[in-house]
Each structure stands twice: as C-alpha cells, then as structure tokens.
Structure 1
C-alpha cells in the first residue's frame, strides 16, 4: 500500500549533498482506518527530496508525495518523500542531464534497489569495473581490526566523538547496512562527520547506497573499509531508523548477529555496542533491550566482546548481569568486559565540537546516560584492542 498526495513546494528548509528538505503545502490524507479521505490543501508538511536522480526543487514546483509512513504516524520512514514532479516552475528542466560513458559498464553494472522503478547502477567496490577489483581477487582478512557493531544509527556519532576524544589519530570508517534508511544522503551524521574529517569514509552495502564506496554485502564492505579506506577501527551499523514488530525476532536489529559472524569470519574483532537504556518508556527496551538479548542468546554463533559500562549502582549492575546472563550457559561464547565509569561531563565534552545534538529515540545524554556510556565504553574497548 502506498498513500499518494500532491503538494506545492513553499520553501526549501535544508539542503545538503544529495537531498533537500522542503516545506510543502499539501492535501490532508486521512489514515485508512478513518476512511482514507483526502481533504484538499489543508496542511503544510516537511518532505524529503533526493537530488541524485531528480533536479532540485524550488518554490512553485508541484510535486507528488509518498505520504504512507507519515500518515500512519510511524517513526521509521515517518516523513513525506518526493516521488516526482507534477509541474515545475518556469524555465526549469525536469530531467537531470546525464553524460553516459562510452562503455556503460563504467557507470557500474550492479543494481541496488533491484527490480524496482528506482533501481540504480553502482560501481561496486569488488566489481570488474572498479579500480579495486584486483584487490578483491586476493586473499583478504581484517587483520585483527576491531569492528564496533551497533544496532542504532545514533551509536555512530557517539562512538566517533569518543574515539576522537581519546585517540584523535585513529582512522575510523563506517559501514552502513540496509536495516534502516537506504540512502546515505538521509543521514545528517554522515554528512557532519565527513565534513569534519572525523570519518575516513562510508561504505554502503546491500541495498543501502550513496556512500563513498558501494559494496554488495557485509563481508566485502568490511574488507573495503579496512583495505581501501585504511580504517584502524570500523563502525558497522544501519542507517537512520530501525524497523520492529515488538516480537522476539521481528526487527532489523537482528543484522547485528550477521555482522558479528562476518567480522569474526574475516579475522576481525567483533565488539558489540550494547543497547542499554534507563529512559526508554517501553518495558522491552528498559535495561538490556530485548533485541540485544535475542541476538546474544539465540542468533550470534560467533563470540563477540560486549563491553559493559561501569557507571551503574550495585542493584543496576545485578539487574544487568541477570538480564544478560553473563555467567550463564547461553552466553558462554561471549565476553563481557567491565569498563571503567565514564562521567556524563566527559561524554558531553567529547561531543562539544560536534555540530548536531546526538540523541537516541529523541533522548539526549541527560535523559539516558547509560545508553551513551555503553557506547563510549565500547569505543574505549575497541581502542584498547588496537596494536
């Protein structure tokens, strides 16, 4: 099901490489449960417009919006997206000029978003047309590189800020999986971290696209981060957003088990950043998220280090140990190093020069300090594993 509506661009609110955020006057589209009624010209909405395949929008343009997730009130994907132009302002070309190479394969012969109207050709890092193709024909490993694995995109900036604070010379690359947003352009954090020079680069894998390098899968993405981007530490996590159903296995966070397997199989050191919370209103995510428990007890078949923060009261430490079963049989393959306490002020200072407020599920450091301490403790552990 897709809920479509037309709208008129009123203003360009934000613009960065590959995307615009627009203010659009549009029809009010009611939820299907309310009868699916369309009331014309009633609301002003924020809409994301990707400019890699369509021209930039300007006030006066008439656009077609995919309003499915926003009308349904969803968190993941919960904004309007421009799907195309219905009418354009005077003197504007609707098509994006494209210069085709003499050999079409130079543009890449591998498709992402395959078999959809938006499928796109990419030069995948391991493909024959890539300058790095020869590298991937050689035996490769991660050579013991720590791989910081996260479930949520918000873990990326928190970890990078901490690494920079503790060891500014460490080279960090980001592998963006396809468990959340697919376009790298949607992430404000990628743009900010690359602009600051705090990330060596981004590899988008699976059907995620738009990174500095494209890769077909998690394995080649990790190898590209190491051998093409030259990472000392690799951070692997999905883009913004996570999809879930409130059931044991029904969430895209299950991919963290796959990342543990890939990092271990390639000779890296998997370090899982634990999703802990003292501020989440949902019981299943309080303390140790049920996502993390499922991954550790039932899905991750290779061992990983799961660093635990030291800033916990004794009763909280006991609860954490009980929920993780750190001494129990289901977790015998994993290690749970207890890290020194990191004060909130120290975490705040690590993010002081970062231009975007780092939040997780709309909660900042003051709202959920244990989440941020767990990420920073994991970053410290990864740094301790460098040669």
Structure 2
C-alpha cells in the first residue's frame, strides 16, 4: 500500500544534482524531511502545498526513510515539449504512476546507435562488481591510488533506488571528477546514459564513454529478508556473468564487515558468497584484503572456501592494504555503509578498495 500525506514546504534543507531535500510541515504540525526530484516536480518555494508519499518514512526504513514529493497540486506544471516530439522511447519505472520516458543510449534515435548496433565485446575491460552502493567510493579510491588518471564509468543497476539523483555519492564523485559518466540500467534512470540492461550498460561504458574500468553496483538502499536467496544483491552475480559473457574481466568486490551485528554478514557476507559462488557462472577474480589478526584469517578462509568450491572458476588474489587508509580518508564523499563510518567498519571499506587496487594493477601488468 501507499501512505499519502499533504504538507507545506517550510524550507530547503539541501540540494544536489537533480534532487532537493525539503523540510515539510504536516497538518499534525510535525516536520518531516522530504525529497523532491527536480525533473518530476521542479524546485519548490516555501509555502508550496505538496502531496507526499510517506510509506517508507512511516515504516522507519533506513536509506528509504524519507518522504517523497509526488506533486505540488497548486503549482502549474512546467511547460514541456509535445511528448510525441521527444527523442527516445525507453520507459523506466514502467506502468507505475511515476513512469518516465528516456532516450536509450542504443536505441534508434540515439547518436550512438550505430556504434552499439553490433557491439559484442568489452575487449578485456576490467569490470569491478559490488553488492552495496556504499562500496563505490572505496573502489574508486583503490583504483586512483594506483592510477589516478583512469577513466571510470559507473553502471547502476535497479536493485536499490531507481532514480540515480537519489545518490549524493554519485553527484559528488561526478563533481570531483572521479567518475567519467554514469549509466543507469534496467528500471533505474537518470544517468548520463540510459541502457536497457547490464549488458548494454557495459557496452556503452566501453564503446561510448571510453572507460578504462567500469564499476557495477545497485543504487542506494538494498533489500534483504534474512533468507539465503532473498536479497537484491544477487544482481552482483548476474553482473559478473554479463561482464564475462562480453569478454570483459570481472573482478568480484567482497562485502566484508568486522562490525555488522548480524553473524551472516561478519567476515565475508553471505551475499558475496551466494552471488559469486552460486549466481555467477563465468571465470572471475576475487581480490582479498590482507587483514591482520583473527578477522584476516576468517576472511581469507571464507574466500578460499568460496574459490575452492568454484572448481577453478574463481581465482583468489591476496592484496596488500598498505597505503589504502590514506586513500580512503581522502575520498570526496563521506564513507558510510549500513549506517557505519570508516572507523566503525574499516574492513568493509578495505575489502572494496582492494578490488579497485587489483583492477588498476591488471591494467598496468
């Protein structure tokens, strides 16, 4: 079900890329944080009456715990061109009230259609695959520590947020020049390029963006049910398959934690073990950080078991972590994963960073 509320914009709290966060007062007098996408509702002034979707907020969800501005009923819509004259016919969030039409990078009206019409090969481009969106800046830190001039694309799948404008992380990384372009695939939308699926997203990253390396992960927020198979991160295994099928070089970024209160995510998360061990079916590299003490032994043992059970499909590569602390503390965005910062769960960010370091070294070898 959807929980609707009316409210009045009180003030603008912050803004980034194509999103604005407002303070909105409800009829009860309570103030809530509400996110409005500029492409959908424009920029709203204080005093504007808005219709909100408060479903996730009222359920107390983490990443999704914001009200979403659906419409400003008393504000005239911005004039737009006749939709029949707009280039592109790829519909995202299909058959929902918020469906939007975009120009796909490879569709007939695109200037890149000819380049992608028969594209079928990534020519060995490294593709770093991660479960959580929060791994993205850490992977980039590891890449840049080895080779700061690499051209990097980000492919965002639809396992989490659908609008890429929800991500402050992507906006900041683009602004800092750490990402050359973003590509949104599946039902996700709003990237520099739009693609139908992970395969066309990767091909666009290589043939259109000219990326040296591509990182793939779901958007902010992820879904998990505490069951063996019920989590959105299975898409990481599917992305590995896509990269390998297209003759890229898949690199599996392990989800690691030393602080998660749930045992199934301690050391190497069961998400990584399932996605890479059971969902992915093509050869891939698994960089493992050399961590000290009992945690390091646990992570290495779990990674050895993962790769050993693959029959040689997954290659284990131990990677040193010296120098990565400085690189991770110098990212243009705050490092946070599942509510924890760098000092709370250092191993998690090092696990992502060594995947970036390994991918960059692949290009130097």
The alignment partner of 1:157 has SS state of helix
Q: Does 1:49 align with 2:36?
A: yes
Aligned to 2:81: 99
Aligned to 2:4: 4
Shift of 1:76: 4.1
Aligned to 2:71: 84
Q: Which runs of 5+ in 2 are unaligned?
A: none
Q: Does 1:364 align with 2:344?
A: no
Structure with the greater relative contact order (CA < 8 A, sep ≥ 6): 1 or 2?
Answer: 2
CA contact (8 A) 2:176 2:332 kept: no
Q: Does 1:347 align with 2:335?
A: no
- TM-score, normalisation: structure 1: 0.90
The alignment partner of 1:308 has SS state of strand
CA contact (8 A) 1:310 1:341 kept: yes
Shift of 1:119: 1.4
CA contact (8 A) 1:67 1:79 kept: yes
RMSD: 1.7
Aligned length: 363
How do 1:55-204 residues align onto structure 2 when only pairs under 5 Å count? Answer: 55-87=42-74, 93-100=75-82, 104=85, 106-204=86-184
Higher CA-based Rg: 1
Distance in 1, matches of 2:216 and 2:62, equals: 22
The alignment partner of 2:291 has SS state of coil
- Residues 57/362 of structure 1: CA separation in 2 closer, same or farther (3 Å cut): same
Give the counterpart of 1:277 among 257, 267, 287: 257
Shift of 1:7: 1.0
- TM-score, normalisation: structure 2: 0.95
Distance in 2, matches of 1:66 and 1:139, equals: 41
The alignment partner of 1:140 has SS state of coil
The alignment partner of 1:154 has SS state of helix
Q: Does 1:316 align with 2:303?
A: no
Distance in 1, matches of 2:104 and 2:172, equals: 24
Q: Structure 1, residues 231-274: CA drift from partner, whole Å, max 9, x if none?
A: 00100111111011111110100000110100000000000110
CA contact (8 A) 1:310 1:342 kept: no
Distance in 1, matches of 2:204 and 2:332, equals: 28
How do 1:228-243 residues align onto structure 2 when only pairs under 5 Å count? Answer: 228-243=208-223
Q: Structure 1, residues 216-244: CA drift from partner, whole Å, max 9, x if none?
A: 00000000001100100100111111011
The alignment partner of 2:284 has SS state of coil
Once structures 1 and 2 are overlaid, which stretch shifts more, 279-288 or 125-134? 279-288
CA contact (8 A) 1:176 1:238 kept: yes
CA contact (8 A) 2:254 2:352 kept: yes
Shift of 1:327: 5.9
CA contact (8 A) 2:290 2:319 kept: yes
CA contact (8 A) 2:277 2:307 kept: no
Distance in 2, matches of 1:13 and 1:317, equals: 42
- Residues 350/316 of structure 1: CA separation in 2 closer, same or farther (3 Å cut): closer
Once structures 1 and 2 are overlaid, which stretch shifts more, 207-216 or 298-307? 298-307
- Residues 331/120 of structure 1: CA separation in 2 closer, same or farther (3 Å cut): same
Higher helix share: 2
The alignment partner of 1:242 has SS state of coil
